[in-house]
Amino acid sequence: MEKTKKDLKFYLNKALKQKFSLGAFNFCNMESLQSILTACKKTNSPAIVAVSESALKYMGEEFTIALFNACKKQFPALFLHLDHGKTFDVCKKAVDLGFDSVMIDDSNLSFEENVKLTKKVVDYAHKKGVLVEGEIGQIKGVEDNISAKNNVYTSPKQACDFATETKVDMLAVAIGTSHGINKYTKTPTLRLDILTEIEKLLPSLPIVLHGASTINQELIKTYNKFGGKIKKAIGVDEDLLKEAVQKHNVVKINTDSDIRLSFSSETRKVLAENKIEIDPRKYLAKGRMKAEEIISEKIEKTLNSKNKK
Ligand code: G3H
Ligand code: 13P
Ligand code: ZN
């Protein structure tokens, strides 16, 4: 895979300096990747495109790489990332395939074991010029096959020790976001104070927020109007996310659920309204357009990454 001078490290540093965040958008098929590509092209925004282990398995390695390369050719400020790699082997595989960065997510292990495994991934990846994201604290919700029932907020001191010992390039922290479409039982909150404390200890550590979907309620209405049955869906507060971007060192924000929801609600609508439509291109194109709209909106309103290419 082609490596340009404007690599991922360049954009992480730029984001730290200019107070924007790279969207890390998950994809699992050609259409979802195209919706990210088009949004980034239209807004002239750099971004990370992420695949989980299960998405990699679903698409297959060769298709994943081929799809990404097709996008990279059209828009070089896109970077391929492995999301929530659980083992050294899966991270190694992604490094060998030419990914720009990998996440080793072993925050469910003890601090010592997490440090040990993360270090092993860092050693391997750095030799090949690939960046590594680690995680400290636990983010509620399902992360591939592992699920955490509750948030274990990141301790700033542990975050500092972990980042220093492992030499990760980015650190995912738990401050109240969570995976999936239903993140809160009550009012959405974020512990931005934890970010402040980490920044006092390590002022230039790139910070990552997972589970950052905002869950647009109009999309939920559409989803349910056309046969869906989502009872409760509360996302992260957009203003708090903006604050995390503008006042803190959050330079990578992960979004999957918002893309899935926009895609699926629109697809449902088209299929419900056209009961004889059998051509996948007709409904997938609509889903893709809606996802693109939601991604562009996020880039402009929350991530502040427009025109940062
Ligand atoms: O953080 C997890 C992502 O939303 C990926 O989920 O394993 O269902 O692809 P997945
Ligand atoms: P959401 O479920 O909030 O979109 O989070 C996705 C994520 O963190 C992927 O790593
Ligand atoms: Zn995640």
Measure 295 CA to ligand 3 centroid, in angstroms: 17
Protein residue whose Cα sits closest to atom 4 of ligand 1: 256
| Residue 142 scores a pLDDT above 60 | no
- Average confidence (pLDDT) over 158-187: 95
Q: Which domains does the chain have, with CATH numbers?
A: 15-303 (3.20.20.70)
Please provide the average confidence, as pLDDT, over all residues in the chain.
Answer: 95
Rounded CA-CA distance 290/118 in Å is 37
Q: Is 208 in the pocket of ligand 2 (CB under 6 A)?
A: no
Cβ neighbours around 226 below 10 Å, total = 17
Question: How far apart, in whole angstroms, are the C-alpha atoms of residue 194 and residue 173?
Answer: 9
pLDDT at residue 143 greater than cutoff 80: no
pLDDT surpasses 90 at 187: no
Ligand with smallest separation from the Cα of 259? 2
Q: How many CA atoms lie within 13 A of 41 on its CB side?
A: 13
Environment class of residue 170 by beta-carbon count within 10 Å: exposed (0-12), middle (13-18) or buried (19+)?
A: buried
**pLDDT above 70 (res 293):** yes
Q: What percent of the chain has pLDDT over 90?
A: 91
Element (H, E) at 304: none
The strand pairing partners of 134, in sequence order, are 171
For the stretch 94-121, pLDDT in tens is: 999 999 999 999 999 999 999 999 999 9
Q: What is the pLDDT of residue 155?
A: 96
Query: Quick one: pLDDT at residue 148?
Result: 52
pLDDT interval class at 150 (50, 70, 90) = low
pLDDT of residue 4: 54
Q: For the chain, where are the E strands, in sequence order?
A: 22-26, 47-52, 78-85, 101-104, 131-136, 141-143, 146-148, 170-173, 207-209, 250-255
Predicted local confidence at residue 146, as pLDDT:
41
The pairing of beta strand 146-148 with beta strand 141-143: antiparallel
pLDDT exceeds 50 at position 242? yes
Q: What angle do CA 246, 250, 263 make, to 5 degrees?
A: 95
Q: Would you say residue 2 has pLDDT above 90?
A: no
Q: Is 256 in the pocket of ligand 2 (CB under 6 A)?
A: yes
- Residue minimizing CA distance to atom 5 of ligand 1: 52
H and E: helices and strands count for the chain: 12, 10
**Which residue among 53, 256, 263 is best mutated to probe the pocket of ligand 1, counting the most ligand atoms within 8 A of its Cβ?**
256
- Helix or strand or coil: residue 175? coil
Instruction: Choose the catalytic residue: 83, 100, 105, 256.
Output: 83
Distance CA 119, CA 104 (A): 10
Res 153: pLDDT:
94
Residue 237 has pLDDT above 60, yes or no: yes
Question: What local confidence, expressed as pLDDT, does residue 277 receive?
Answer: 95
Between 24-28, 145-149, 201-205, 208-212, the lowest mean confidence (pLDDT) is in 145-149
For this structure, is 83 an active site residue?
yes
Q: Give the residue with greater pLDDT, 149 vs 92.
A: 92
Residue 141 is predicted with a pLDDT of 66
Which of 56, 82, 143, 213 should be mutated for ligand 1, with most atoms under 8 A from CB?
143
Average pLDDT value for residue range 81-89: 98
Task: Take residue 80 and report the two structure tokens written for it.
Answer: 């391929």
Task: Give mean pLDDT, residues 145-163.
Answer: 80
At residue 276, does pLDDT exceed 90? yes
Q: What is the largest CA-CA distance in the chain?
A: 60
- Probe target for ligand 2 pocket from 240, 255, 260, with the most ligand atoms within 8 Å of CB: 255
Q: Which of 187, 199, 190 is nearest to 251 (CA)?
A: 199
pTM of structure: 0.96
Q: Which residues contact 90 (CB under 8 A, 6 or more apart)?
A: 53, 82
Tokens at 52, concatenated? 């989980």
Number of other CB atoms surrounding residue 132 within 10 Å: 26
Distance 24 CA to ligand 2 centre (A): 9
- Whether residue 144 is predicted with pLDDT greater than 50 in this model: the reply is no
